[in-house]
Chains A and B, each alone.
Chain A
């Protein structure tokens, strides 16, 4: 039986690959595709499929191989055709996305770009002579945050929370599902007005401004908006009860979170760190934690699978007690 997600993947992602590569995917088993996380195209290098911690390739005959050296070699033309397809042959219409290093395609999947970066002053002007593409599959895991909701919203009232983990442990997937659950309401948690400040278009996976992934019916998304700026805009104009944002860390993010908390808004954010000790090693975040900005810390791990809760820290209780 073809899994619905696999069918979506075949139509949504492979449609943007160069015809030569697209043909190779016809023979790939649905079982492999259903867990696919990344497709990597690098000029004159084998095509790479990443599934969990394993890497596969596809040979010229469409067979999946574990020895990457036997894989199909991606040519410059394959890259050119893929880029042309992703951008609808209109790189000029994606200047901002190219400056940020990725283009979002329908379905909320992100295509990371590698190539020669043209810099003007301190700013990236554009990118040219593309040498690599990384298709990252956006995958919703409905109800993955269900076990977390009682921690993030004890007695039905959401508290400011920080999701902590290294990359690829499911922070964004968890934030997305939390946005949906808090927005729609779940069990004893009533519905809330949620604003997602999605600087990297990963949480809601917006394509042409429309969320491609379910973030709830009472959620507004500020797509591609710098976090600090987005939080201030949301306070002024969208009357949120909860603001959700990804990968905080800069000084302006910390200041904006302070503003949100003083305005009575709950902030749920994620941050890169392996554990709380590592987090406390960052002066800006340590200050924020010492000020009691967050009541809950949720540490995620990839073992045995992404999104596994390793530890829950109750900062409000440790302060009081």
Chain B
């Protein structure tokens, strides 16, 4: 029976530990995704300001440029605009954000910033669009720096926390 108990303890601690490590990895993935998002917005800015590419195509090209899961935002928005079913850029962008929320590690604060983009997207001249998209990129950079600072502390809490929680559960069960 002892070997069974030992194995149970090991599995419980390992399980919680893995869960903690997974949580810890989310911190560094968020930083990467915020950086991808900022670069994608830069690409979209160029498409709008220099190429004057219509939004549907500009979003599609940005989706091809961006890495997953960030590319999901641009794919979903572009696809909904292509449907020509009277969908506005604002609605299509919101659908893209919902898709991104399901597949990325971005937080509420990050997604809220993206929601600010929705009403402005496409519906002004190139100068105004440029100013706005640049502002969003600056905000994303701030979020990215902030997220990078949180990585070390957050990773420690989650990775140690997982194992500690596993040990606590084991002690409670014994």
Contact = CB atoms under 8 A, between A and B. Distances in A.
Interface of A: 15, 18-19, 22, 80-81, 83-85, 87-93, 95, 98, 126, 128
A1 B157 CA distance: 74
Contact of B89 (A19, A84, A95, A98): A84
Interface stretch (B9-17, B96-104, B124-132, B136-144): B124-132
Contact of A84 (B123, B124, B126, B128): B123
Contacts of A93: 52-55
A90 B124 CA distance: 8
B122 A89 contact: yes
Tell me the dominant secondary structure on chain A's binding face: helix
20 contacts: A19-B85, A81-B86, A81-B88, A84-B88, A84-B123, A87-B122, A89-B56, A89-B81, A89-B92, A89-B122, A89-B123, A90-B48, A91-B123, A91-B125, A92-B49, A92-B122, A92-B125, A93-B53, A93-B55, A95-B126
A89 B78 CA distance: 11
Contacts of A89: 54-56, 81, 88-89, 92, 121-123
B5 interface: no
Contact of A85 (B49, B86, B125, B126): B86
B154 to A, nearest CB: 38
A22 B121 CA distance: 24
Given A80-B88, A92-B122, A128-B124, 7 more contacts: A89-B55, A89-B89, A90-B54, A91-B122, A92-B49, A93-B52, A93-B55
A91 B121 CA distance: 10
A84 B55 CA distance: 11
A85 B82 CA distance: 11
Contacts of A126: 125
Interface in B71-112: 81, 84-86, 88-89, 92
Which of B56, B84, B89, B125 is packed against the most chain A CB atoms within 10 Å? B125
